[in-house]
Chain A
Amino acid sequence: MIDIRKLKELVRLMVNNDLMELDLRDETEQVTIRRPSVNVPPQVTTAAPVAMAGSAPVAAVPIASAPAAAAPPPAEAADDRHAIESPMVGTFYAAPSPEKPPFVKVGDSVGPDTVVCLIEAMKVFNEIKAECSGVVDEVLVSSGTPVEFGQPLLRIKAR
């Protein structure tokens, strides 16, 4: 039987990397975790391969997903998209420097630690992380524009 800690770790791995299905096997065990959609907890199926005498397959057990790691509920009721809001007052930059390409563009996948932009305040450049998982749906601010606290910067669509 795969221990619960490992299972939780696998679920977190899936969510962070936006995987929909994970199938893990070795000589003694097999785990399949499927995420049909963001609002349904992942279904976990474990089974012992035939070689393990006397152990019966375990029925699929839903494991509550870590809600913080999954795509959070959408900010707008009309929208299933989540807005990344500015945590500070400053100037928005889409790319690490003018010659480099932007951190993210529409269609890119992001995870919680993905840097999506910079906000410069008092000559300090602050990396802003997505803190959610999904796909960039819209970039709302152009580089060099001042932003205020709470201002929506990007919209992320949960898968």
Chain B
Amino acid sequence: MFGRVLIANRGEIALRIIRACRELGIEPVCVYSEADRDGPWLRHAEQAVCIGPGPAPESYLRIDRIISAAEVANVDAIHPGYGFLAENAHFAEVCRDCEIEFIGPSPEAMARLGDKIAGRRLAKSVGLPTFPGSEEAIDDPEEAVSLASEIGYPVIVKAAAGGGGRGMRIARNEEALRAGLESARQEAAAAFGNGAVYVEKFLERARHLEIQVLGDKHGNAVHLYERDCTSQRRHQKLIEEAPAPGIDPEKRDRVAHAAADLLRAANYSGAATVEFLMDANHDFHMLEVNTRVQVEHPVTELVTGVDIVKEMIRVSAGEPLSITQADVRLSGHAIECRINAEDPDRNFMPQAGLIEHLSAPGGPGIRIDSHARAGYRIPPNYDSMIGKLIAHGPDRTAAIARLRQALREFEIGPIRTTIPLHLRLLETAAFVNADFDIHYVERYLAGE
């Protein structure tokens, strides 16, 4: 087992990894930017090293400084968290070259699954249903047009190297497709340095589901069932839950097993999430594979009892997975709200600045993953999520009731947060009856 692990991240996920390290008897080492000098999680690390000024390209994305910090702090491994360098195959390679374990997949496995086009091909080979769409990047608009007439409009143009909803265009007819190809290509080249795009079918009323999977270095892989992340705004998740309400369990089981097969086929060790859109027939269509731990991992931890972050560290150190597929059982229902420092009444304007007061909820079945506290000054340089509130109960109704009460008890100010919005969303018929699709939040906000 590792003696020391460096956490190449910040905020709530850094705190999460610190906790997993301490439980495993590992000394956590943190890196921080000058903007995070007063980060409340740092005091729980064994050592903290400043790696640059606030802006991420000068600090949390500086591979050279992170590796230097790893060397001066004498660590055995680096956990990248999510975002930043977590899905950067080059960073994983540099770690390997410097003989520091990267807590995640090998650079080859990461590249194999992280590239959307190559990932789709591998998925097809293990029988994972993907969207009807192009096998490879499309350069010729005529090819795109003929493919679209085959699979039927509406279609969506997507960036191969993309994520976060950028480099995407929906097209309902040929004219829109031609225009969309051009603008998606340009946006992708600007955002990701890679203008390759592909085309696939677009589902009008889809639900976003994802399967959590874990693999080790001994060829074992298990799935931890699914999460439902249909509550989104601009492709950013707001509320996530496990298990997914009202889906076909046989279809889910088939897809979950295939997801584990995918990891084995890719020689993948670590945590991964396979994301899908589910149509009205409860058929799954793969979107992409995320080769990292995800923000919403707590809901899976609560319903399966598996500590995903500890498993990541263990398998990276060469241990086999601590569970077999037969050991994985679902118990109860968990729902997570992402608490963002944003003003939902002012177009989700990010709120940087001092948290003057903070009073967190508690009670049975309440989990809070957050680095925020009274007196903490939110820096303006990073994303606006200041914590996650998760409620677990014996069934979905109980979980919703617990979550509502916890949101009511959660006091943060004077900065605005999305807590009031979560309370309103949890009252909608769409959410309560799980009669929703990935655009329901936007329709709700638009006043429908």
Please list the residues of chain A having a beta carbon within 8 angstroms of any beta carbon in chain B. Answer: 88-91, 121-122, 146-151
* Alpha-carbon separation in the docked complex, A149 to B49 (Å): 8
Q: Is the CB of A122 within 8 A of B50?
A: no
Q: Is the CB of B72 within 8 A of A149?
A: no
* Alpha-carbon separation in the docked complex, A150 to B31 (Å): 13
Q: Which of B17-25, B60-68, B142-150, B283-291 contacts A (4 or more CB under 8 A)?
A: B60-68
Residues in B61-116 with C-beta less than 8 Å from chain A: 64-65, 67-69, 71-73, 98
Q: Is the CB of B50 within 8 A of A90?
A: no
**A-B pairs with beta carbons under 8 A, tally:** 42
Q: Is the CB of B69 within 8 A of A150?
A: no
Partner among A89, A91, A122, A150 whose Cβ is within 8 Å of the Cβ of B34: A150
Other contacts beyond A150-B52, A151-B50: 13, CB < 8 A: A88-B64, A88-B68, A89-B65, A90-B68, A91-B72, A121-B68, A122-B68, A122-B71, A122-B98, A146-B49, A149-B52, A149-B59, A150-B50
* Alpha-carbon separation in the docked complex, A88 to B64 (Å): 9
Q: Is the CB of B65 within 8 A of A88?
A: yes
Q: How far is the CB of A149 from chain B (nearest CB, A)?
A: 5
Q: Convert B374-398 into 0s and 1s, putting 1 for each residue whose CB lies closer than 8 angstroms to a CB of A.
A: 0000000000000000000000000
> What are 21 contact pairs spanning A and B, CB under 8 A?
A88-B65, A89-B51, A90-B68, A91-B72, A121-B64, A121-B65, A121-B68, A121-B71, A122-B98, A146-B49, A146-B72, A146-B73, A148-B50, A148-B51, A149-B50, A149-B51, A149-B52, A149-B59, A150-B50, A150-B52, A151-B50
Please give me the 6 A-B residue pairs with the lowest Cβ-Cβ distance, nearest first.
Answer: A146-B72, A89-B68, A148-B50, A121-B68, A148-B49, A149-B50
Which residues of A lie under 8 Å from residue B64 when comparing CB positions? Answer: 88, 121-122
Q: How far is the CB of B227 from chain A (nearest CB, A)?
A: 37
Q: How far is the CB of A127 from chain B (nearest CB, A)?
A: 16
Q: Is the CB of A89 within 8 A of B72?
A: yes
Which residues of B lie under 8 Å from residue A88 when comparing CB positions? Answer: 64-65, 68
Q: Is the CB of B71 within 8 A of A148?
A: no
Which residues of B lie under 8 Å from residue A121 when comparing CB positions? Answer: 64-65, 68, 71
Which residues of B lie under 8 Å from residue A151 when comparing CB positions? Answer: 50
* Alpha-carbon separation in the docked complex, A89 to B49 (Å): 8
A interface, over-half SS: loop
Q: How far is the CB of B228 from chain A (nearest CB, A)?
A: 42
Which residues of A lie under 8 Å from residue B34 when comparing CB positions? Answer: 149-150
Q: Is the CB of B51 within 8 A of A90?
A: no
Which residues of B lie under 8 Å from residue A122 when comparing CB positions? Answer: 64, 67-68, 71, 98
* Alpha-carbon separation in the docked complex, A87 to B294 (Å): 33
Which residues of B lie under 8 Å from residue A150 when comparing CB positions? Answer: 34, 50, 52
Which residues of A lie under 8 Å from residue B52 when comparing CB positions? Answer: 149-150
Q: How far is the CB of A109 from chain B (nearest CB, A)?
A: 30
* Alpha-carbon separation in the docked complex, A50 to B235 (Å): 82
Q: How far is the CB of B85 from chain A (nearest CB, A)?
A: 15
Q: Convert B37-69 into 0s and 1s, putting 1 for each residue whose CB lies closer than 8 angstroms to a CB of A.
A: 000000000000111110000010000110111
* Alpha-carbon separation in the docked complex, A125 to B59 (Å): 21
* Alpha-carbon separation in the docked complex, A110 to B389 (Å): 55
Q: Is the CB of B69 within 8 A of A89?
A: yes
* Alpha-carbon separation in the docked complex, A146 to B49 (Å): 10
Q: Is the CB of B72 within 8 A of A90?
A: yes
Q: How far is the CB of B403 from chain A (nearest CB, A)?
A: 41
* Alpha-carbon separation in the docked complex, A99 to B51 (Å): 31
Which residues of A lie under 8 Å from residue B68 when comparing CB positions? Answer: 88-90, 121-122
A148-B67 in contact given A89-B49, A89-B51, A122-B98 (Cβ < 8 Å): no
Which residues of A lie under 8 Å from residue B69 when comparing CB positions? Answer: 89, 148
Q: How far is the CB of A97 from chain B (nearest CB, A)?
A: 20
Which residues of B lie under 8 Å from residue A90 when comparing CB positions? Answer: 68, 72
* Alpha-carbon separation in the docked complex, A131 to B49 (Å): 24
Which residues of A lie under 8 Å from residue B72 when comparing CB positions? Answer: 89-91, 146-147
* Alpha-carbon separation in the docked complex, A149 to B64 (Å): 12
* Alpha-carbon separation in the docked complex, A146 to B70 (Å): 11
Closest to B73 in A: A146
Which residues of A lie under 8 Å from residue B73 when comparing CB positions? Answer: 146
Q: How far is the CB of B209 from chain A (nearest CB, A)?
A: 41
* Alpha-carbon separation in the docked complex, A91 to B73 (Å): 10
* Alpha-carbon separation in the docked complex, A14 to B73 (Å): 43
Closest to B74 in A: A146
Closest to A123 in B: B71
Which residues of B lie under 8 Å from residue A146 when comparing CB positions? Answer: 49, 72-73
Closest to A147 in B: B72
* Alpha-carbon separation in the docked complex, A89 to B69 (Å): 6
